[in-house]
């Protein structure tokens, strides 16, 4: 085998066979770098500018040139027309719809950034007839004194807002009305709204120096903590004491959230609902729910009430803000209302320090409830009020009793809030008439005596005040009376007034047609009393379920009761007028089952021995109560 054949065999084994033109190159072609390699090297060098021998830039880098390229705008009419416009009629209808929905505390506005809220909301001191006044116009109307009078005056004539005495009188009257509105607003925020306007000088409270302990909860540090919590929260929970919801309610905070932060959600939580009767708590929930969503709650790690409802409500708020990674829920309220206890109840462990004395929480605390919900604890704040007396502050539990001087002076107001039989049952005392006699009897019974056998009134008074605050003495503030538009609340009673329970039974009204009444009267005259009594007893099971059947209700008799209609042929809306919660159909399951199961056809021997005349009379009777026939 020659050398050529050996070399060809070797190339074939190594896979190097070819036509012999692999090494042929075209003149002028880059033998060492292909297009991909050149592009990669250019990408590495494009960050630097090219310079000449003198160091001047000849070719700028990619993003180094300051020359603005020439740009052309598409010649389209859309650049010169109005965008996002709305007619006045549509805007008015939308504004009315928004006002109607805003009154409902259970309606939430989503994605308000896409709506012209400045056109929808009428209000503010800078608006007039719903139109925001221009700043220059407002400046001209309120010129400073130096620009009108004196050597630097810029006007020869005083600019008055009125042109006649009649206009001046009207303007003064409007100013007086505005002043009265401000006074009413001040009384509302101080918790004394609705009181008499004309108070004699002798009836006004005498200004006196109060103890420093009554200024607790009103410092600048506490208010800074409160505003930090409100600014950091998406949902604000206002914790109220179920025994005195109005006394622990901070109206100034609600006003601030409504005006300055309307995008934040506010809900009420009636804590300590286990210390009041269920009907009282339900009444407070119904009344406060007309303003904000309200829940009844009992803070306890092992035996709580309302925990599931509160967590479900917070999850609904979290789902409403699905565009956020998490939401923050701040708990605010007065001292010793149970804000930290609610957080411990939701987490089912102790994460916040709690104590039965006010002022235990000093600073705010950030706690993670779940992945998307965070809780913020806040110190208790006491809103300043000119009408709150030291007695009110002591009985609300906002101050520490051990730091109050002469605590026996507050026992009289305490006894006026508690029924005497409750005090007698709690301390096993009787026969006392005044607060001093009560304290003396309690001190002698407990052996709390000073030198010479004198009773320790201060020590016993502090003990009674602590028992009053911590729930050992039963007391509560009744809900305000019903208004004219709340007749539906008067119908709630018995089991329907209990919290967390649905009415088990529904009392359906009897609907009897005129023809049935006449037929029933005729039958009573013909049939004997014994026969009628026996028939009523036999049909007693189906009387409440199937009643009101006449000639015009044949279709209703053939249909079974569904979710959308009641068994007496009435609609769901008509039936709801009598019940608090309507679930449709009959609530008495036993009567329903007894009515649906037909009785056996066999009769007893005593029934077979009846007269043929009576049987014929029964068969011819147009009975109002009919059983379901068995086919």
Per residue in 265-314, pLDDT (tens digit) is 999 999 999 999 999 999 999 999 999 999 999 999 999 999 999 999 99
Q: Pick 46 or 106 by higher pLDDT.
A: 106
In this prediction, what percent of the chain has a pLDDT beyond 70? Answer: 62
DSSP 40-84: HHHHHHTTS-EE-TTS-EEE--TTT--PPPP------GGGGS--S
3-class SS of residue 238: strand
Q: What is the dihedral of CA 276, 282, 288, 289, to 10 degrees?
A: 150
Across 135-139, 437-441, 596-600, least confident range: 596-600
φ and ψ at 392, to 5 degrees? -65, -40
Supply the pLDDT for residue 166.
86
Pairing of strands 365-368, 373-377: antiparallel
Residue 342 burial by CB count (10 A; 0-12/13-18/19+): exposed, middle or buried?
A: buried
Residues 407/461, Cβ–Cβ less than 8 Å: yes
Q: Pick 177 or 319 by higher pLDDT.
A: 319
Own/partner contacts of 535-542, CB < 8 Å, gap of 24 or more, are 535/618, 539/623, 539/625, 539/627, 541/591, 541/594, 541/595, 542/591, 542/594, 542/595, 542/625, 542/627
Supply the pLDDT for residue 20.
57
**Pick from 425, 406, 417: which is nearest to 469 by CA?**
417
pLDDT tens for 526-536 read 544 444 444 44
Q: Return the CA Rg of the chain.
A: 42
Average pLDDT of the segment spanning 486-493: 48
Q: Name the token pair of 69.
A: 């390229």
CB atoms within 10 A of CB 312: 10
- What letter does residue 571 receive in the DSSP assignment? B
Q: Name the token pair of 139.
A: 């400046």
Buried b / exposed e over 359-398, threshold 16 CB at 10 Å, is: bebeebbebebeebbbbbbbbbbbbebeebebebbbbbbb
| Listed ranges 121-125, 292-296, 397-401; the one with the highest mean pLDDT | 292-296
Across 177-186, 343-352, 474-483, least confident range: 177-186
Is the pLDDT at 199 greater than 70? The verdict is no
Supply the pLDDT for residue 70.
79
Q: Alpha-carbon distance 292 to 285, whole Å?
A: 10
Q: Name the band, by pLDDT with cuts 50, 70 and 90, for residue 81.
A: confident
Across 159-173, 351-365, 561-575, 605-619, least confident range: 561-575
Residues forming beta bridges with residue 24, ordered by sequence position? none
Contacts of 461 (CB under 8 A, 6+ apart): 407, 408, 410, 411, 439
What's the helix, strand, coil split of the chain in %, to 5?
A: 40, 10, 50
Q: Name the token pair of 90.
A: 């549509």
Give the per-residue SS3 of 425-485. HHHCCCCCCCHHHHHHHHHHHHCCECHHHCECHHHHHHHHHHHHHCCCCCCCCCCCCCCCC
Contacts of 161 (CB under 8 A, 6+ apart): 141, 167, 171
Is the pLDDT at 182 greater than 90? The verdict is no
Average pLDDT of the segment spanning 321-338: 92
Question: For the chain, how many residues are written?
Answer: 631
Number of H helices, E strands in the chain: 24, 10
DSSP 583-617: -SS-S-HHHHHHHHSPPPS---HHHHTS-HHHHHH
Supply the pLDDT for residue 551.
36
Q: Alpha-carbon distance 436 to 410, whole Å?
A: 11
Supply the pLDDT for residue 310.
95
pLDDT tens for 538-589 read 444 333 333 333 333 344 333 333 333 333 444 444 433 333 333 233 344 4
Q: Name the band, by pLDDT with cuts 50, 70 and 90, for residue 147.
A: confident
3-class SS of residue 248: coil
DSSP 301-352: SSS-BSHHHHHHHHHHHHHHTTTSS-EEEEEEESTTSSHHHHHHHHHTS--S
**Pick from 516, 496, 506: which is nearest to 592 by CA?**
506
3-class SS of residue 148: coil
The dihedral through the CA atoms of 497, 499, 501, 502 has a sign that is: positive
Residue 279 burial by CB count (10 A; 0-12/13-18/19+): exposed, middle or buried?
A: middle
Across 53-67, 149-163, 465-479, least confident range: 149-163
Q: Alpha-carbon distance 48 to 65, whole Å?
A: 12
Domains of the chain by start residue, with CATH: 86-123 (no CATH), 215-377 (3.40.50.300), 390-469 (1.10.1580.10), 514-620 (no CATH)
- Which single residue is written with the structure tokens 């086919």? 631
The tally of CA atoms less than 13 A away on the side-chain side of residue 378 is: 31
| Listed ranges 65-74, 237-246, 354-363, 399-408; the one with the highest mean pLDDT | 237-246
DSSP 363-383: S-EEEE-SSSEEEEE------
The pTM (predicted TM-score) of the whole model is 0.58
Q: Alpha-carbon distance 628 to 2, whole Å?
A: 115
Supply the pLDDT for residue 584.
34
3-class SS of residue 139: helix
Supply the pLDDT for residue 202.
46
pLDDT tens for 50-74 read 889 999 988 887 777 777 777 888 8
- Which single residue is written with the structure tokens 């000119």? 386
């Amino acid at each position: 085998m020659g050398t050529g054949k050996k070399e060809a065999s070797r190339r074939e084994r190594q896979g190097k066979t070819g036509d012999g033109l692999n090494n042929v190159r075209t003149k002028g072609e880059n033998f060492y770098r292909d297009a991909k390699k050149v592009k990669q090297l250019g990408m590495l060098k494009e960050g630097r500018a090219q310079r000449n021998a003198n160091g001047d830039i000849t070719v700028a880098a990619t993003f180094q040139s300051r020359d603005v390229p020439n740009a052309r705008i598409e010649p389209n009419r859309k650049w010169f027309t109005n965008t996002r416009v709305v007619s006045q009629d549509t805007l008015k209808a939308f504004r009315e719809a928004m006002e109607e929905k805003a009154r409902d505390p259970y309606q939430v506005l989503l994605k308000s950034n896409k709506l012209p809220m400045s056109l929808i909301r009428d209000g503010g001191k800078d608006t007039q007839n719903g139109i925001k006044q221009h700043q220059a116009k407002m400046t001209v109307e309120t010129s400073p004194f130096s620009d009108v009078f004196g050597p630097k005056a810029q006007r020869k004539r005083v600019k008055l807002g009125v042109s006649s005495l009649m206009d001046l009188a009207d303007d003064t009257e409007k100013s007086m009305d505005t002043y009265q509105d401000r006074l009413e607003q001040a009384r509302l925020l101080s918790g004394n709204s609705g009181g008499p306007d004309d108070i004699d000088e002798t009836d006004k409270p005498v200004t006196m120096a109060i103890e420093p302990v009554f200024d607790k909860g009103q410092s600048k540090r506490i208010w800074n903590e409160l505003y930090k919590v409100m600014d950091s929260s998406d949902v604000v929970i206002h914790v109220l004491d179920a025994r005195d919801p109005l006394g622990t309610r901070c109206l100034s905070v609600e006003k601030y959230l409504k005006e300055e932060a309307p995008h934040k959600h506010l809900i009420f939580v009636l804590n300590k609902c286990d210390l009041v009767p269920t009907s009282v708590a339900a009444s407070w929930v119904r009344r406060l729910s007309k303003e904000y969503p309200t829940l009844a709650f009992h803070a306890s790690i092992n035996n709580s009430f309302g925990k599931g409802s509160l967590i479900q409500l917070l999850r609904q708020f979290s789902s409403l803000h699905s565009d956020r990674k998490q939401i923050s829920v701040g708990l605010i309220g007065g001292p010793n209302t149970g804000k930290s206890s609610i957080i411990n109840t939701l987490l089912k462990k102790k994460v916040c320090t709690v104590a039965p004395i006010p002022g235990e929480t000093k600073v705010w605390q950030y706690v993670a409830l779940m992945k998307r919900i965070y809780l913020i604890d806040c110190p208790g704040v006491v809103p300043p009020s000119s009408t709150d007396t030291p007695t009110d502050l002591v009985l609300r539990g906002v101050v520490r009793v051990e730091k109050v001087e002469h605590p026996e002076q507050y026992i009289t107001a305490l006894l006026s809030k508690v029924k005497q039989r409750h005090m007698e049952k709690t301390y096993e005392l009787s026969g006392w008439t005044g607060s001093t006699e009560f304290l003396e009897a309690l001190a002698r019974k407990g052996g709390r005596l000073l030198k010479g056998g004198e009773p320790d009134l201060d020590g016993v008074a502090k003990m009674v005040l602590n028992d009053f605050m911590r729930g050992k003495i039963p007391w509560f503030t009744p809900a305000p009376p019903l208004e004219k538009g709340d007749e539906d609340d008067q119908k709630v009673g018995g089991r329907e007034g209990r919290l967390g329970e649905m009415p088990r039974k529904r009392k359906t009204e009897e609907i009897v047609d005129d023809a049935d009444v006449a037929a029933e009267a005729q039958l009573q005259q013909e049939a004997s009393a014994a026969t009628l009594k026996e028939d009523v007893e036999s049909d007693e099971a189906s009387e409440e379920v199937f009643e009101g059947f006449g000639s015009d209700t044949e279709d209703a008799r053939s249909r079974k009761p569904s979710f959308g209609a009641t068994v007496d042929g009435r609609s769901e809306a008509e039936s709801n007028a009598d019940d608090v919660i309507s679930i449709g159909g009959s609530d008495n399951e036993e009567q329903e089952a007894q009515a649906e199961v037909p009785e056996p056809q066999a009769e007893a021997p005593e029934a077979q021995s009846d007269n043929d005349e009576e049987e014929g009379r029964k068969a011819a009777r147009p009975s109002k109560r009919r059983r379901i026939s068995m086919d």
